[in-house]
Amino acid sequence: MIFLRTKAINPICFSNQTLSLLFCTLHTKNLRAKPCHEQSRIVNSKSHKRIPFITQVKELHDPEEALCLFHEYKKQGVKHDYPSYAALLYKLARSRSFEAVETVLAHVQNRGIHCKETIFIALFQHYSKGKLPEEAVKLFNRMPQFNCIRTLQSFNALLNTLIDNGCFIEANDTFQGSYKMGFRPNTVSFNLMIKGWLAKDEFVKACDVFDEMLEKKVQPSVVTYNSLIGFLSRKGEMTKAMALLEDMTKKGKYPNKVTYALLMESFCSMGKYEEAKKLMFDMAYRGCKPQLINFSVLMNDLGKKGKIEEAKSLLQEMRKRRLKPDVVIYNILINYLCKEGKTTEAYKVLIEMQIKGCEPNAATFRMMVDGFCKTQDFEGGLNVFNVMLASKHYPRSETFNQLVVGLLNRGKIDGGCFVLEEMEKRKVEFDLKSWESVVKIACAEDKNASELIDDLTSTHHHLN
């Protein structure tokens, strides 16, 4: 039986639901009990024929529900094949349920199911995000046991996982042993090693790898040059960076928008905004049309300096060039407006981007809710919070806590309790400091109760 290990509940902690009910009861407000999300998506005899397992499992967010669905199909006589196992593995890996991933892999191996290389590459990526490079190495070595032939694609994916997790010695050993394993490193392999050496601040060794590429007749790509130019630019060695720019052009590798963005960022960090701006407008003469990433560099620099109006004027320049501002561009404006406490203006930008057909992302909403909380406009924050939930995004736990306390402190009981309920649904903790604030607000009219809460919380702090 495949199962997930459930977390133990701390008995001394109040749940958000309990706090919500307690607080609202003190204010004689009745909360409507909302039905819990039961595992209603699990198939029955009728829905089984209409909706296949893969379609359903993709819609689930809870890995435990995905496992239950898997077993429910199995009970109904469905024999899971590779696509079903792959869909389940993707879901479990994405939710960092790695113990369950291993259990499912054991089932796959025992059944002798032929697996595609893509599933292992995806698992390497999730192991990398979960800081488990050693598990990726083990799985790479086990791939033949799943009737899967390893290619240079999975080799490079493993190499990237090792480098991204700082396991450079292991990555270098793996790279050096590539020929013994039957792999001939390609441009991607060499680019990864260059990235690794540069991450270790070893520019000379990165250049050695570059020379090795040329010796083995592996063609450097624009990404190769961008790695080296980016490193030099971040170090402020602009003369060398610009020389490398000229060198790559002579060798027939034309710089792209990222190349110029790297150089522009360096000029901006050195306080040379005008040179960065000139470089962007020189791009066209070099056969590279300026893109949104280049405008974003300039906008970000202007935002840092508080020159919001100048940053806004770049929007007009983009439109002249028939470039449609994306969510990154709008987020830059919203971010710096919120930082300056100009949440009303930031909100207007949010409305404008939606009118222009640009969909806000999680970062957009988070910056807006945080911005409203910062200016103590908790009702404004609640409005954006509602839209945020409808868009299937939600704030950081700190913002949840601030929003609850802020709303309750201003007598917005329904709003505060609503946010608490949403926290409960998403298993977001209501921290001790916020809990203290909420109880003090509830007990504000009762001096004895307030003093008791002070004693209890101070004792708790002392014990911890």
Q: Is residue 257 part of a domain?
A: yes
- Report whether 419 contacts 400 (CB < 8 A): yes
Q: Is residue 168 part of a domain?
A: no
Signed CA dihedral, 237, 239, 240, 245: sign only: positive
Q: Where are the alpha helices (DSSP H) in 77-147?
A: 82-94, 98-111, 117-129, 133-142
Q: Is residue 298 part of a domain?
A: yes
pLDDT in tens, 13-24: 445 554 454 444
Structure tokens at 235: 């170090």
The percent of residues above 70 in pLDDT, for the chain, comes to 84
Among the residue ranges 327-331, 380-384, 407-411, the one predicted with the least confidence is 407-411
Q: For the residues 385-401, what does the mean pLDDT come to? A: 93
Q: Is residue 129 part of a domain?
A: no
Burial (0-12, 13-18, 19+ Cβ within 10 Å), 311: buried
Per-residue confidence (pLDDT) for residue 331, from 0 to 100: 97
If phi > 0 it is left, if psi is from -120 to 50 it is alpha, else beta; for residue 315 that is: alpha
225/259 Cα distance (integer angstroms): 8
Closest C-alpha among 211, 223, 209 to residue 254? 223
Per-residue confidence (pLDDT) for residue 8, from 0 to 100: 35
Task: Please state, as a whole number, how many other Cβ atoms lie within 10 Å of the Cβ of residue 328.
Answer: 17
Residue with tokens 């290990």: 5
227/241 Cα distance (integer angstroms): 11
Q: Is residue 191 part of a domain?
A: no
Q: Is residue 205 part of a domain?
A: no
Q: Is the pLDDT of residue 448 over 70?
A: no
pLDDT in tens, 28-41: 333 343 333 444 44
pLDDT in tens, 72-120: 777 777 778 888 888 889 989 988 999 989 989 998 998 888 999 999 9
- Report whether 192 contacts 156 (CB < 8 A): yes
Per-residue confidence (pLDDT) for residue 449, from 0 to 100: 54
Q: For the residues 297-319, what does the mean pLDDT come to? A: 94
25/413 Cα distance (integer angstroms): 10
pLDDT in tens, 193-234: 999 999 999 999 999 999 999 999 999 999 999 999 999 999
Torsion angle in degrees (nearest 10) through CA of 448, 453, 456, 457:
-150
Q: Is the pLDDT of residue 295 over 90?
A: yes
103/99 Cα distance (integer angstroms): 6
Domain with 280 in it: 234-322
Burial (0-12, 13-18, 19+ Cβ within 10 Å), 186: middle
Number of domain units in the chain: 1
pLDDT band at residue 422 using 50, 70 and 90 as cut-offs = very high
Helix axes 257-269, 273-282, angle to 10 degrees: 160
Mean pLDDT of the chain: 85
Q: Is 350 strand, coil or helix?
A: helix
Torsion angle in degrees (nearest 10) through CA of 93, 94, 100, 104:
-50
Per-residue confidence (pLDDT) for residue 128, from 0 to 100: 96
DSSP 38: -
Q: Is residue 174 part of a domain?
A: no
Per-residue confidence (pLDDT) for residue 459, from 0 to 100: 46
Per-residue confidence (pLDDT) for residue 228, from 0 to 100: 97
72/132 Cα distance (integer angstroms): 31
Give this prediction's pTM: 0.76
Per-residue confidence (pLDDT) for residue 177, from 0 to 100: 94
Q: Is the pLDDT of residue 299 over 90?
A: yes
Per-residue confidence (pLDDT) for residue 15, from 0 to 100: 52
Q: Is residue 88 part of a domain?
A: no
